[in-house]
Structure formats: structure tokens, C-alpha cells
Structure 1
């Protein structure tokens, strides 16, 4: 097998979608003949042997094939030197496939942070140097094109909780409940939006399933509708609850849905997403009313939306990601 280095900002047992994705990618690449070794800026105790030193990593990866996972703020928060060392890694490697998961923090308050602007410059510099660039959405690709990188491959993120085989349960087999899944901050945004809206009554949602860290901070009821708080669950448990539910709720701007692991999980499981977005209606092949329900809307045929969304998802399943990366790792590409 050929050797490959995957360079990730953190390697931890749970709570890191990028590392989860990288591990799924490694499983697929192994079948394609690539043996993955790991380097990470930050690790937990279980993965301590994977930790890389910023003052040595470029030398250690001299002449290697590298898949670099870029979330610039995550690298910078571990050690500011990483923002510059990653350039040295690209120069030292035999070839680099850069996967841009994030260009800048998307929370509103982050725009006030000078580090947000430095992160963009890190992305533009690395994109200009890498042999190949993959990103998750058209918004990022357009920004990279304006800075000279016009051959970027766009692949929305795959589901990190697995991809249930077809056929999926149909609408009548699912319960009239909604799943609120993901990190604490975004789940709180969903509950705040629900509290201001009449969506629960309009869509006849009879219960909410809360899945993610910090369940004790989430409400027990929203507008009289009970919230079952599960906390963190294993992937198969999350998948089972999504397959048994009609709705998935998410607070994310439409131009960034394609980079959301939560939205990918909803798509893979064929639930109908309700999207609380500050801007945008259509992006990355997703159309309001066809692939998701905008907040405050009453869909005509909600039972068709989840199935249509799953068909959209098939174009960038984990198998498609493996194919794209393996093709670009080939010598001479």
C-alpha cells in the first residue's frame, strides 16, 4: 500500500466532526490502496502518539503525500505558529490535497475578532500552494476563485453518523417529532427561534429530541412541547432516532448548509429539515421548499422533501469523497 499522511487540527475520541470525517476518509482510502498515518496539532490522551510539533512537522513530512484538513481557527488556537508552519508543510510534501472545511468563523461576534481576518489569509495562501483543493460549498469556492484558485472541487460534507441504505422509512412510518442535533450553541439558536415562531403548531410537531453535548442547558419544554434530552449518543443511536423522525431542525445560513455535518446527517437519513437562516434561500443545489423548509413556511408536500434531499446527498456521499481524494493523490496529478 502507498503511504499517506492526514494532517488534522485535532485528534480526539468524540466531538470533532473533522476528525470523524478524516477517519471515514481513511477507511475508504485503505480500500483504494492508501495506508493513512496521522499528525495532529492537538490530541486527547487516547491519541497522544499522533501529536505533531510545529517546529518539526515540515521536516518530518518531507516528500510525503499529504491530505491537509483546514479549519484555520482550530490550528491557530492550538498554537499561532501553525498558521505559518502549514505553508512549510505544503512546500515540503511531495503533493498536497487541501480540504477547506472552514474559511472563517461564522458566528456573528467572530467578525469582530482580528484572528478571523488572519484565518482567511491563511486559507488563501495555502490554496495558492496546494496541488489540489477541495471545499464543501460554492460560497468558499467563489472566494478562493477571486483570489486566483479557480479549479476548486466542491463536495458538500458527508454524514459522520453513517449512510443508511435505501429504501428509507417513509413519512407514514415516522413519528411527528423533530430532532435538534449538534453543538450546544447551534441547538440553543434553534430553541430560541422556535420560541419566537409558531412552527411547532403549524407543522404539527408533537415532540422534540435533543441530541448533543450539554443537555442540561437545553429547555425541557418549548411552547408547551416536551423536549427529550439525550445528551451525546453513539452514531448508530443518532441514526436510529433520525430514521424514526419526520423533522430535523437546524440554525444555519443557507449558503453554509453544505458544510454542516448536522444537515448532512439529516439528508442521509431522509428527514425533512426546518432551517432557521439569516440569509439565502438557494445554494449548492439546495432549494427552499424542495430540499428543506424555511422557517415560518408551510410545505405543500413535506413527505417528498426528505426523499428529494437524500437524492441530492448521493452526489457527495463518503464514497464520492474517497474517489475524489484518491484520484488527486495519484502520482502525476
Structure 2
């Protein structure tokens, strides 16, 4: 059977969104007994090192700034077109695409139309394409019809099969992610979290991630010893902490929620995500997924009375466990696109 080849920008030793996504896809496809090779292709020169073999399937991880410092890899569509002409099947995972929101005088603003044109060329070359935000997916459907599928980012800190019941979880809010992400969250959420701790609605706020002097100042804003800064944790420790918690804060704008690995981590662990925003901001309001009140709680809901808050949160967490597909499901879909013959026949 022919190879899968994952084409991505620089493979980062300590991980990043695209590297983690590729690693999990590679693992899942290996478990299906496929041969998978990953290639780091951050520029035109490195593209020459990728073997072009008819019958192979390329999985392109499209983060447009990864292939060009200014996000305009003009060389990428011709490179893919040449491979297609040699019999390569092309699956594209659209991660970071053209800049949708940027200051009017910025370089990104003026280059956005060129970025979009490159994305359009790549989408039209794809045998199938996956989009992790619904606004990008709707654009993809207009461009390539049924060859476009909406598929949110999956968790890179585990996708446990055994889930802790809601009633057995602690009334804990988790703040998880990069330092920048968490600082932004605390600027918005500290006052309400402190009030909820003081009233006993929450038992603790748990912080996971790199620390610094700023985090000590955050800790001083909370009553007693109910703020726990755990620092960076191994994947299994992050997973264990999420499985015992009820809520998790995220700061991705609503229209970008499907691309957030933090949101995905909460979804796959039965945690109810809470947005620190109470509106979509400058991004399109989501119409498919994730939806406020359906797949996550707007921040103001965290101030509500506990019985109603608890019931709504449990319903959201259960809904996410069903609707937020994981890495296995994506690998199976890619397999079916590339090798339809391996599908099992339907019994009469």
C-alpha cells in the first residue's frame, strides 16, 4: 500500500499546534497499519526533498505563515499541482489561513487578499479539505462543495475513553494554556473568580502552565489557599487534572473556538468550557460550532446561581463528548478519502 506523507512547516521539537496535530494523526494512521512519513517543508528549497510517488497521499498541514514569513507562499500551489499531476492524492488540513482581522495599516491587512488567493488555489487542488472554523468551512463549501468538511482541532493532552461522572468532579475552574493566554484570562476573570470562591460556588481555581512573577500577583487576588498554580505538567497529569474538574476558561474568540487546542482539551475531558468573552468580537459569529450556551458558557453565565449553572454546565460537557470528534475519527476520514477500498462492506 502506498505511503501517507504529512507535509508541514518546521517540526518543532517541543511541539506546537501543527506539530501536535501531525503527531497524533501519524500515531492513529500507524495504528491502522499504514506507513506514514512526516516531512518538514518550511520553504521552496526543502520541498525538493519530498519524494513524489504516484498513489501516495499527502496530508498538507496548512498554516500559511509556516511556509512564508509574510504568509504568502507563492511557491506552494505550483508544488502541490506538480505532485497531483504525478498521481498524488492531496488532503489539506486548513489551520491558519488568510488574515481575517488585522489593523488597516498593517502588512497583514494588505496581504490578506493574496493569502486568500493562495488558499483558494490549494483548496481547489485538494481531493478533500478539512476546516477548523465554521466561517472557513462555509468558504470551503462554496469553493469545493462536498470535498470540504468541518473538523475542529482535537485535544493534544489526551482523549480519554473513561470519563469521570459530573457528580464526582470537583467544583474547580481550570485556567490552561500559554502564558499570554492565561494572563489575558486573569485580567478579565479574576474579580468574578474571587467572588465565586468567596461564596463557595467554586472550590478552587487551578492554573496549568509556565509561571512567573505575574502569577504570584494573580494568586494574591484570591482568598485563602484556593488558588493552585501547578506549573507545566506532563500530558497525563494535565489529563488527570481535567478529568476531576468541572469548568475550564478559554480566551479564543467565539468564531475561532473550533481551532483552539485548549477548547478541544476541555471538550475531550468532559469539562464545560467558559469563554471569557460575552460576544464574538470582530470575528464572524459561529453558526455551526461551537455555539454559546450549546457548546460553551459565555463568561457572564459563570456568575449565575449554582444549581442552574451546574445543570447547564453538565449538559454542555455531555454534548461536547458526543459532538467534538477526536484524532481517531479524523484519521479514519482521511483513510476513507485516500483508500476507499479498505471500507468494510455493509451487511444485508
TM class, shorter-length: 0.7 to 0.9
| Equivalence for 1:57 | 47
| CA apart distance, 1:215 | 4.5
CA contact (8 A) 2:39 2:50 kept: no
Q: Is the 2:173–2:204 contact (alpha carbons within 8 Å) kept by the matching residues of 1?
A: yes
Structure ID, larger Rg: 2
State which of 310, 321, 333 in structure 1 corresponds to 2:321.
310
Instruction: Indicate conservation of the 8 Å contact 1:242/1:266, yes or no.
Output: yes
Q: 1:243 offset after TM fit, Å?
A: 0.9
Once the two structures are superposed, the pairs formed by residues 153-164 of structure 1 within 5 Å of their partners are 153-164=149-160
- Gap runs ≥5 in structure 2: 342-348
Deviation at 1:131, TM superposition (A): 2.1
Secondary structure at the residue paired with 1:274? strand
Aligned-residue Cα RMSD (Å) equals 2.9
* Equivalent of 1:220 in 218, 225, 232: 218
Name the counterpart of 2:30.
Answer: 30
Q: In 2, distance between residues paired with 1:157 and 1:211?
A: 20
In terms of fraction of residues, the more strand-rich structure is 1
Secondary structure, aligned partner of 1:198: helix
Report the secondary structure of 2:158's partner residue: coil
Aligned to 1:171: 166
2:94–2:132 CA contact under 8 A, matched in 1: yes
1:120 to 2:116 alignment: yes
The Cα shift of 1:227 comes to: 3.9
**Partners of 1:76 and 1:331 in 2: CA distance:** 34
Q: Please state whether the residue corresponding to 2:154 is helix, strand or coil.
A: coil
Q: Secondary structure at the match of 1:6?
A: strand
Name the residue aligned to 1:211.
208
Alignment of 1:175-324 (within 5 A): 175-195=170-190, 198=192, 200-202=194-196, 204-218=201-215, 219-221=217-219, 223-225=221-223, 227-277=227-277, 278-279=279-280, 283-297=287-301, 298=304, 299-300=308-309, 301=311, 302-313=313-324, 316-324=325-333
Q: Does the CA contact (< 8 Å) of 1:4 and 1:37 recur in 2?
A: yes
CA contact (8 A) 2:40 2:46 kept: no
How big is the shift at 1:223? 4.1
SS of 2:323's equivalent in the other structure is: helix
The alpha carbon displacement at 1:291 in A equals: 2.5
Q: Post-superposition shift, 1:115?
A: 4.4
